[in-house]
Amino acid sequence: MQRVAVQPDDQRARNGRKAQRRAGRLRRGLVCAAAVPAVALFATACSSDSDAAAQGTGAGSDSSSAAGSTDTGGSSAASPGVQAAKYAKLPKPCAVLSKKTLTSLVPKGVKSGKEGTSDDVATRGSCSWSSLDSNGVKGSQFRWLNISFLRFDSDAGRGSGEKQAEAYYTSQVQGAQSVAGAKNTKSVPVSGAGDQATAVRYDLKKKEGAFKQQTVVARVANVVVTLDYNGAGLAGGKAPDADALTKAAQQAAAEAVASVTTANGAAPAPSSPAATPSKSASKSASPSPSPSKSSAKKS
């Protein structure tokens, strides 16, 4: 009868370390892949803004274009004949979502929030989170979430902050609707998230797996909030439910929009119930989260 070989303790330890290194490389690769689309979309938006700004109609992509002028008290200064911008501040991007919401969206990455670089935190800011839940032979669940804010001040040359924000909002929605390689793209209006909000979702096939992408773009007065959230079942893991991801992304976007009014000293409107994750995203929840463009999506 054949005997089962038993590995010495030191051999098992070496194998364990190798497995940990492989998991670490997978996580880093997925996070980098998820960030690519966000950068691509932002570059597209900035390019559109620059062209529009050259014509005196659009929102600029640098601090001077987007912010206009700000007085020493931090409130937007109106130019002669131009209505003053409503909001003068932005919230801290990594603090806009509650722990409960983050737990549902990125169950294994609540504390992974990484703030983006900004030369003017009163004008622009962003934060991203990633989650990789490995379930052995049952596969893994990956989630990536990014929230970005862009605020516009009123300017005599470019117009009111609100009009600039409207133009940028439109360009962000159009960018999310035209991602290369996207399949089954759907766009729906979103209520309860500022003055305008649209959710765009699609499927994106990448070498890491099949990703379900959700992008919610919302405008509240002179501030535009873009939330990207994507998820995928890897190594045999079940693909997340797109409807549940979209619902969760919309709820998180409404929470992010409410944080803008709170940061400026106003009481936020009643928010929707916190999103809950799908079974494929977390073992302890039922509804589901929603991510942003993965290996090649936009943000």
Q: State the DSSP code for 133.
A: E
The pLDDT score that the predictor gives to residue 210 is 85
The pLDDT score that the predictor gives to residue 63 is 34
Residue partners of 214: CB distance under 8 A and separation at least 6:
199, 200, 201, 227, 228, 229, 230, 242, 245, 246, 249, 290, 291, 292
| Helix, coil or strand: residue 246 | helix
Look up residue 161 and give its amino acid: G
Q: What are phi and psi of 10, to 5 degrees?
A: -70, -35
Is there a contact between 250 and 186 (Cβ–Cβ < 8 Å)?
Answer: no
Tell me the C-alpha distance between 68 and 153, whole Å. 5
The pLDDT score that the predictor gives to residue 207 is 78
Q: What is the pLDDT along the chain (299 residues), one digit of tens a residue?
A: 444 444 445 554 455 454 445 545 555 555 555 554 443 343 333 333 333 332 233 333 333 334 443 332 334 455 567 889 999 999 999 999 999 999 999 999 899 899 999 999 999 999 999 999 887 777 788 999 999 999 999 988 899 999 999 999 999 999 999 999 999 999 999 999 999 999 999 998 887 778 999 999 999 999 999 999 998 888 777 888 888 899 999 999 999 999 999 999 876 554 444 343 333 333 333 333 333 333 333 33
Within the chain, where are the H helices? 9-54, 63-67, 99-105, 161-177, 242-263
- Tokens 């909001």 locate to 87
Closest CA to 91 of 67, 124, 66: 124
115: β partners? 127
Tell me the C-alpha distance between 140 and 76, whole Å. 47
Tell me the C-alpha distance between 249 and 126, whole Å. 16
Is there a contact between 295 and 204 (Cβ–Cβ < 8 Å)?
Answer: yes
How many contiguous H segments (helices) and E segments (strands) does the chain have? Answer: 5, 7
> Strand 140-151 and strand 183-189: pairing?
unpaired
Is there a contact between 225 and 149 (Cβ–Cβ < 8 Å)?
Answer: yes
Tell me the C-alpha distance between 68 and 220, whole Å. 18
Tell me the C-alpha distance between 233 and 140, whole Å. 6
Q: What are phi and psi of 163, to 5 degrees?
A: -65, -40
Taking only Cα atoms into account, the Rg of the chain, rounded to an integer number of angstroms, comes to 21
The pLDDT score that the predictor gives to residue 26 is 52
Euclidean distance between the first and the last CA atom of the chain, given in angstroms as a whole number: 60
